[in-house]
Amino acid sequence: MTRRPMYGQARSGSVAPLALGLLAVAAGVVGAVVLSRRGDGLRHGFEDAPRRSQRRPQSGSARVVGRSVTIAKPREEVYRAWREFTRFPDFMENVASVVSLDDTRSRWSVEGPGGSTIEFVSRIVDDVPGERIAWTAEEGTSVPNAGRITFRDAPGDRGTVVDLTMSYDPPGGAVGAMVAKMFQREPSIQARRDLKRFKQLMETGEVATARTHPVSEDER
């Protein structure tokens, strides 16, 4: 599938979708953190705050970003929408396309600065319908990354609590410099925006934009 003219944002020089998560440097660590049962690492002391909200620098080399959002739709429906990875370009700012290869594998094409494109194959490693999905980039890609999303019923019939966690390593070396350049935006901010657009799409059927014109061919 190629990019659809979904929502409007001017795309000039802007990079990074669910991004940072998508582009990480150490697949191993990345996968381990994201896939741990709690989704975002271990419990620390007497508190339930997610690891990503800790003030102290996160231990280990992997960084965890993510966000929680409540969507006024039933859990099954939200799960099904996310499971369709090919629709990510509808709400992830610089995912150009996701092509399904088989039941669990898909090829992602992510836009970089100056018109560059990064491709990798992502594999679903955990999938419990209505509850959670986890994925990780296959080994050998220049941009290892992993992500995990969980779905819970919100209290009081308010829909579904969606918790997205992604992990990446603070980049170093030559690859690091390249990756750093790509992320003009704080990855946690990007995750938050992508998740917000997902919520908009689920609840309203469209992605809010202040544009006064549809995205044109050459802006894409």
Partner 1 sequence: MRALTWQGKKDVRVETVDDPAIVNPRDIIIKVTSTAICGSDLHLYDGMIPTMQAGDVLGHEFMGEVVETGRGVTDLRKGQRVVVPFVIACGACYHCSKLQYSACDNSNPADEADISETLYGHQMSGLFGYSHMTGGYAGGQAEYVRVPFADVGPIVVPDELEDDDVLFLSDILPTGWMAAENCEIEEGDTVAVWGCGPVGLFAIQSALLMGAARVIAIDHYPRRLQLAAGLGAQTLDYTTANVLEALLDMTGGIGPDAVIDAVGMESHGFSIDNVYDRAKQALMLETDRPHVLREALMACRKGGRVSVPGVYGGLIDKFPIGALMQKGLTIRTGQTHVQRYLPKLLDMIREKRIDTTFLISHRMALEDAAEGYRIFSDEQNDTTKVVLKPGWERAQ
Near partner 1 in 169-198, by CB under 8 A: 189, 192-194, 196-197
- Residue in 3, 8, 32, 81 binding partner 1, rule: CB under 8 A: 8
Residues in CB range of 207: below 8 A, 6 or more apart: 6, 7, 8, 90, 91, 197, 200, 201
75 binds partner 1 (CB under 8 A): no
208 binds partner 1 (CB under 8 A): yes
Residue 174 CA to residue 179 CA, distance in Å, equals 9
Query: CB–CB of 6/89 below 8 Å?
Result: yes
Residue 22 CA to residue 34 CA, distance in Å, equals 12
Q: How far is the CB of 51 from partner 1 (least distance, A)?
A: 21
3 binds partner 1 (CB under 8 A): no
Residue 211 CA to residue 101 CA, distance in Å, equals 34
Query: CB–CB of 66/54 below 8 Å?
Result: no
Q: How far is the CB of 118 from partner 1 (least distance, A)?
A: 22
Near partner 1 in 78-117, by CB under 8 A: none
**Binding region for partner 1 (CB under 8 A):** 7-9, 70, 72, 158-159, 189, 192-194, 196-197, 199-200, 203-214
